[in-house]
Structure 1
Amino acid sequence: MTWRGRPRTMSNSNRCRPKRSRRKPRRNPRVNDTGTTVPHEETRIMRKTLWSRTLLLAALALSLLGPARAQQEVDLGLGKMWPFESIPADYFEKHHGFVPTQEWLDAVRLASIRFGSGCSSSFVSPKGLVMTNHHCVRDFIAKACPPDQDWVKNGFLAKRLEDEVPLEGLTVQQLVGMEDITEAMNAGITPEDSVDTIAAKRQANEEKILQKAGEEHPDLTARTVKLYQGGKFELYLYKVFTDLRLVCSPHLQTSHFGGDPDNFTYPRFGIDFTFCRAYEDGKPVDSSAYYFKFDPEGAEEGESVFVTGNPGRTERLLTYAQLEYKRDVELPMILDIIDTRLATMRARAQASEEAEKQLRPGILGLENAQKAYRGYWAGVKDAELMAKKKAAEAELRRRVNADPKLAKLYGDAWDALAKVADQKRTLTPSLRYHRTLGIPLISRAMAVLDAVNEKLSEEARSEAASKATRGDAHLEGGRLAAVATNLEVARRWLGSDDAYIQALFGNAEKAESALRGLEKRSRLGDAAFVQGLIEKGAGAVAASDDPALVAARALRAAIDRNKQLQPEVAAAENVHKARIGQAVFALFGTSVSPDATGTLRLSDGKVRGFPYNGTIAPWFTTFYGLYGRNVAFGNKHPFDLPEPWLANKDKIDLSRPVDFVATNDIIGGNSGSPVIDKDRHVVGLVFDGNIEMLANNFFYRGDIPRSVNVHPAAIMEALTKIYGAWRLVAELLGQD
């Protein structure tokens, strides 16, 4: 642990210790808490009345479908990631005996902040203290760390306020305003409009909306949000805090205990937390009107808990045909890319200790992505999940076709998307692998084509001519092996009959042989020859049978085709996805959850274990398990513990919880989300999900998938017994 500032000496009698008292009885959640500070006026910008909107949407659905059909339940697998502007009151009453008041929702929304570009966090003190996961901030910690120290590996603690370290480039965003802009986004669009026309009109409408929002609220950041794939649109306004400073982070092995083997699993023993502080005008942000109180005792088994964060993206409204495309093309292709990059980075990291330090955050990120995408791919290869998706889609189409108006508007959208999915089976590999693939001779050949292209400006042609003779065109050693790997993967996805692949391979069977053969047969490695060819002009270049130029012409043709086809396919996909979203919204309104969009959501759940491996996973793990796992693996990485955790083991209450699970609906982007109770107390910190959770990206199932959360007792044990972070403990407990 790295210390900043003078140690604060405190006797045992006056240190701040978490109380081990019984939890207080709950207040009636229907009654407004008179002790709650009313959110400041800024939070009411453009906000519509929640219940009036919900009632209006329900009325529209009922008028369209009739009471019996509107009430009939159907499992579309859409989950429970509820936008704050449309919380389903009846659902919460039924499942939790609790209906969030508008005051409760406002307070929770303002305390929940988006962290950086892909995580979640929350205010947990009146002085701008922000809690999130270590893995969400470690890249920024690495950049802020002095060259002679390693704060990511060894941890950091600011003993005084003035010792808190700026994290350059990091921001947090607070959602302060919401407005339904569906009508404005669809203004001027008619059923007779073509796909391209609809896309163009919607883009123009969006630009007008954002321009107006920028003029009316210059101090806020505006974002349009597409819900139900475009069935509904919202304008969100954010207050952005740009001065974030590091307060406390644990050792990497405290947060990342178990490493990649334990990632997306449970039982789990990671204590993945970090505290930062938001500043404004050089002072800690006054968050006294919106923060969560920290409850070191956490939640109880069976208790209702709520995750409030920014889930990145789910794809539960995709059609069956679209999921087949993902199963067969997109996901395995992404895994190919991740596997290749990870192997390359691991090899580079072995060069030196400094290289390992610099590459460590990237490697950890790729390892996480690799396991996540393997889980996604397993989901769409799961016959049971795909069967449920097919049944849900059939029922949805039946309901649409049963209503003449809906059938006319949306009935053929699924068939249109099946056509799009079929087009993407060839388009996606082409977009990815119709590239130079790191082959210097192909880069030169492409530059030669540009140098004689009369459609380009004289300046562009001159730059291309210069590029065509620069650099070394020869491949050898590790560089040759890496490019050969790229070429083999490209052949696998483009096919051996692809013109570009045929030109590159010739009669060779192996990629490395093809690359060596290309160098022998092509004259483009000779800068003088290249210069002379360019001077002869476009005719000479077009007539050349140099194998690198033959391959480049095939590549250029593929790129030109893609430039025309990609926007057409993307526009068609977006329009028809929106039609399905509109159909779902017309049938069910806000009684079903929209897909995640990287924006703030409230997910409800229960603290509960689950069956696994023929036994039962307990709802919480303990320090007994943490140290037991460490011993079972001989303190070897990734099950090793930092020295302070071994030296201070006798101080730890081994019976205290470390992690726990709950049935909340989460996905990537929820990392750092607070888990709160009905009284808006923090009772956990989301940092992962079990492996079964990953398939929920495509179809939600609530039986076994779980959020995996750090228990607040574990954070307190770490802060008090290992790190001596008494200033921070006092602030969390309101005793400062």
Structure 2
Amino acid sequence: MCRSGRPALLLPVSLLLLASAPAFGDAGMWTFHDFPQDLVKRQYGADISSAWLDRVRSATLRLSNCTASFVSPAGLILTNHHCAEGCLDEHSTSEQNLLRGGFLARSREQELKCGTQIADVLMSVENVTDRVAAAIRGLDDRAANDTRKKTLTQLEQACEQESQHARSGPLKCESVDLYQGGQYWLYKYHRYDDVRLVFAPERGIAAFGGDPDNFQFPRWCLDMALLRAYGPNGKPAATPNFLALRPEGPQAGELVFVSGHPGTTERLLTVAQLETLRTVELPRWLLRAAELRGRFIEFAKTGLEADRIVEDPLNGLENSIKVRRKQLDALLDERLLNAKRDEEAALRARVAADPQLAAATGDPWTDIAKAQLRERELYLPYTFLEAGAGFNSRLFSYARTLVRGAAERPKPNTERLREYRDAALARIAQRLSAPVPLYPALDKLTLSFALERMREWLGPDDPIVRSLLAKDSPDMLATRLVDGSQLADPKLRQRLWDGGAAALEAA
């Protein structure tokens, strides 16, 4: 399926033919609320009941950065190793590198709380497409965009307020748009914000082969970690719906479903959008990322402690580079673009052949192509300023969150930036107050690199670049800002968040 916005909870299926050398998949991907039970029964002979779907859905978790599953009735969670790397790094020191050496809690008292981790379980969904469509009907594009955001915020707020009195307890309600705005849903989650580390193997076996083997031979790795969800009473969560482990694995020809929260697909992008990805976005991103990876690798060579603190961000960056490099390889293959051009031409012809549909649809392909030209003009300043590529620093991220939060929170909920709506505030506060380590040397490296690239791409005469670097070099400015900041202190960040604009002015 294709979607934009937040990842939905999906159920891909693969028919594994394990008797032959490779494993082939007869794949499909569906949301739980639109699962084709009759089709699956007809094609695979499997009778998938609604009760089975509900059990799998409630056993599937969305972590802050990954998918996971409950695997015991006492809140035990199974996920990939890299999903726990942040928690391992949070509890590591120069004397004890948990990322390298692994971790095992031999009792529940020894389990380590992961400061910024959450675990969300999808409890129910609600189709709100008609309400969104009614709210924006007859509006021009700009007004429709503003009204759509306000409407979704209102729906989320009403959903969370209503859940305060529900027997199941408070829910986190998030709007999800599917098929590039063709449908809008409210996804209603039960959130565990106390998640603790139980076990993670040494990284040498969890990621055997390092980056060269990553995505190539994952079956030869012990790529897993165990976490545990705790309730507000400080006790392990009661999770009667869990996925039991089967050590022997799937059998030849057995039907296998994978439940999770995958990233956004881009199957409905137009040719103009794909061409922007191919010629503008992916090449420039890869150029910056490859150089930053080189900086990380050289930084790691300066000592054992430097090697430890850069390992987690380096792993994540190498993952991202590998994904985007293959995306670019695919887009550089003219066969793919030609196939998309043929598909688009056929669809446009079908629309044109139906006068009523053509009148209602207009010419979105031309509109999108014009928008892509404008996006290309805005790409560099947006990337370096708003998207933060020119200010790659944990301290900067904290500072901007505090400043924007102080400006947005006094506004009515529907008038705020969506990132600061009521439904998002608890998560922001958790991240700000979490006692995660911040490494000044690494923050200086990333900030200096970001400032260098911003000066290079925007040019030395850009007003922002000139205001920042007229007197200081990127290294000098990064050093002065990082050394002069007190935002590494989570207690200070919490006080500034709670105090709002007045606290920031006083600071």
Tell me the TM-score normalised to structure 2 length.
Answer: 0.70
1:137 and 2:84 aligned? yes
Structure 2 counterparts to residues 188-207 of structure 1, below 5 A: 188-190=135-137, 192-207=138-153
Of 212, 222, 236, which aligns to 1:284? 236
Q: Distance in 1 between matches of 2:65 and 2:450?
A: 31
Q: Distance in 2 between matches of 1:151 and 1:482?
A: 28
Q: Distance in 1 between matches of 2:134 and 2:450?
A: 50
1:242 and 2:203 aligned? no
1:233 and 2:200 aligned? no
Of 214, 217, 221, which aligns to 1:263? 214
Q: Distance in 2 between matches of 1:372 and 1:329?
A: 16
- For the Cα contact (< 8 Å) 1:186–1:205, is it kept in 2? no
Q: Please report how far the alpha carbon of residue 430 of structure 1 lies from its aligned counterpart in structure 2 after TM superposition.
A: 3.2
Count of aligned residue pairs for this structure pair: 383
2:41 partner SS: helix
Q: Please report how far the alpha carbon of residue 189 of structure 1 lies from its aligned counterpart in structure 2 after TM superposition.
A: 2.5
Of 41, 53, 61, which aligns to 1:105? 53
Distance 1:487 1:185, change over 3 A: closer
Distance 1:381 1:296, change over 3 A: same
Q: Distance in 2 between matches of 1:409 and 1:430?
A: 35
Identity %: 35
1:254 and 2:208 aligned? no
- For the Cα contact (< 8 Å) 1:225–1:236, is it kept in 2? yes
Structure 2 counterparts to residues 262-661 of structure 1, below 5 A: 262-266=213-217, 268-280=219-231, 281-288=233-240, 290-432=241-383, 486=453, 489-490=456-457, 500=462
RCO higher in structure (CA 8 A, sep ≥6): 1
Structure 2 counterparts to residues 89-168 of structure 1, below 5 A: 89-115=37-63, 117-145=64-92, 147-168=94-115
Q: Distance in 2 between matches of 1:221 and 1:317?
A: 29
- For the Cα contact (< 8 Å) 1:223–1:237, is it kept in 2? yes
1:81 aligned residue: 29
Deviations 1:143-162 (A, max 9, x none): 12355312111111122233
Q: Distance in 2 between matches of 1:234 and 1:123?
A: 25
Runs of 5+ unmatched residues, structure 1: 1-78, 439-477, 505-514, 526-736
1:278 partner SS: strand
- For the Cα contact (< 8 Å) 1:226–1:233, is it kept in 2? yes
1:584 aligned residue: none
1:709 aligned residue: none
Deviations 1:206-246 (A, max 9, x none): 12211211210131100000011110110011000112122
Q: Please report how far the alpha carbon of residue 122 of structure 1 lies from its aligned counterpart in structure 2 after TM superposition.
A: 0.3
Q: Distance in 2 between matches of 1:340 and 1:234?
A: 40
Q: Distance in 2 between matches of 1:247 and 1:437?
A: 37
Letter in 2 for 1:100: I
Q: Please report how far the alpha carbon of residue 519 of structure 1 lies from its aligned counterpart in structure 2 after TM superposition.
A: 7.2
After TM superposition, the structure 1 stretch with the greater mean CA deviation from structure 2, 260-269 or 357-366, is 260-269
1:178 partner SS: strand
Distance 1:433 1:150, change over 3 A: closer
Q: Please report how far the alpha carbon of residue 308 of structure 1 lies from its aligned counterpart in structure 2 after TM superposition.
A: 0.4
Q: Larger helix proportion, structure 1 or 2?
A: 2
Q: Distance in 2 between matches of 1:434 and 1:159?
A: 47
Tell me the TM-score normalised to structure 1 length.
Answer: 0.49
Distance 1:487 1:188, change over 3 A: closer
Deviations 1:91-123 (A, max 9, x none): 3234322242110110010000101x2200000
Distance 1:151 1:481, change over 3 A: closer
1:294 partner SS: coil
Q: Please report how far the alpha carbon of residue 284 of structure 1 lies from its aligned counterpart in structure 2 after TM superposition.
A: 1.4
- For the Cα contact (< 8 Å) 2:88–2:99, is it kept in 1? yes
Distance 1:93 1:385, change over 3 A: farther
Q: Distance in 2 between matches of 1:411 and 1:383?
A: 28
Letter in 2 for 1:106: D
- For the Cα contact (< 8 Å) 1:113–1:123, is it kept in 2? yes
Q: Distance in 1 between matches of 2:454 and 2:121?
A: 45
Q: Distance in 2 between matches of 1:267 and 1:237?
A: 33
Distance 1:104 1:382, change over 3 A: same
Letter in 2 for 1:112: T
Distance 1:118 1:400, change over 3 A: farther
- For the Cα contact (< 8 Å) 2:292–2:449, is it kept in 1? no
CA RMSD, Structure 1 to Structure 2 (Å): 2.9
Runs of 5+ unmatched residues, structure 2: 1-26, 165-169, 392-444, 478-507
Distance 1:487 1:216, change over 3 A: closer
Distance 1:101 1:480, change over 3 A: closer
